[in-house]
């Protein structure tokens, strides 16, 4: 069996950077699709710098023979925007969290990809009154229409990990509160527990490599089942 060719979009982000690390320890090669990339490029990776705004005009071309796609794109948001997003901020959020990843998914499918994994969110549902959850749910539904054989929707709660950008003074308070509340978050509320971004990345990669599930949704307990690639 030939080694798989993976495409990673959003490799500079919290989950995407870990997806690249996990894939670097697996057989196969990967293409990192990015606007810019300052981290070290793994030996089994190739960097493709693109202008994401050119995706809608068919100016971006991908290498043929792609097997797996990992969509980890996401706009940096303030904590309060997760609850309510001002109308002025919605257009740029939709562009990065819906339009860009959907265009990449379609391009990759045309290049041969039949397996895809994406970072969604707990509570994702198209039509939700919460704009953040609405867009996440809409992306999931649009991905389903493309024709992929294997689809993995990762739906984590708050993501833990070292971020390059300052996210606000409230983040440590939020994480401390979630850590304290974790034992009391049972049943469906368990999925709202915070989780390390690297565990989400590991779960996405292992799910696509498993190839046994046509469509899967990963939640908190699923992220805890994976091995650690360090």
Enumerate the domain spans of the chain.
5-223
pLDDT of amino acid 124: 96
Q: What pLDDT, in 10s, does the model give residues 116-165?
A: 999 999 999 999 999 999 999 999 999 999 999 999 999 999 999 877 66
Query: pLDDT > 70: what percent of the chain?
Result: 94
Q: Supply 197's token pair.
A: 């971004």
Q: What pLDDT, in 10s, does the model give residues 67-88?
A: 999 999 999 888 888 888 999 9
Q: Is the pLDDT of residue 168 over 70?
A: no
Q: Is the pLDDT of residue 23 over 90?
A: yes
Is the C-alpha dihedral spanning 6, 222, 168, 90 positive or negative?
Answer: positive
Q: What is the CATH number of domain 5-223?
A: 3.40.50.720
pLDDT of amino acid 1: 47
- At a CB cut-off of 8 Å and minimum separation 6, what does 183 contact? none
The whole-model pTM stands at 0.92
């Amino acid at each position: 069996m030939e080694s798989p060719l993976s495409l990673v979009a959003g490799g500079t982000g919290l989950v995407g950077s870990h997806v690249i690390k996990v894939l670097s320890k697996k057989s196969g090669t990967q293409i990192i699709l990015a606007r810019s990339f300052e981290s070290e490029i793994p030996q089994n990776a190739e960097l493709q710098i693109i202008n994401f705004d050119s995706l809608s005009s068919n100016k971006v071309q991908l290498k043929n023979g792609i097997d797996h796609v990992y969509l980890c794109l996401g706009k940096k948001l303030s904590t309060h925007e997760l609850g309510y997003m001002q109308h002025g901020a919605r257009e740029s959020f939709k562009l990065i969290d819906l339009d860009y990843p959907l265009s990449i998914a379609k391009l990759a499918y045309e290049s041969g990809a039949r397996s895809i994994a994406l970072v969604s969110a707990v509570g994702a549902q198209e039509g939700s009154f919460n704009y953040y959850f609405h867009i996440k749910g809409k992306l999931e539904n649009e991905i389903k229409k493309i024709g992929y054989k294997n689809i993995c929707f990762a739906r984590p709660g708050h993501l833990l990990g070292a971020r390059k950008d300052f996210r606000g003074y409230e983040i440590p308070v939020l994480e401390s509160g979630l850590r304290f509340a974790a034992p009391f978050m049972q049943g469906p509320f368990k999925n709202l527990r915070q989780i390390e971004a690297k565990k989400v990345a590991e779960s996405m990669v292992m799910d696509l490599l498993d190839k046994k599930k046509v469509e899967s949704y990963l939640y908190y307990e699923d992220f805890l089942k994976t091995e650690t690639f360090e």
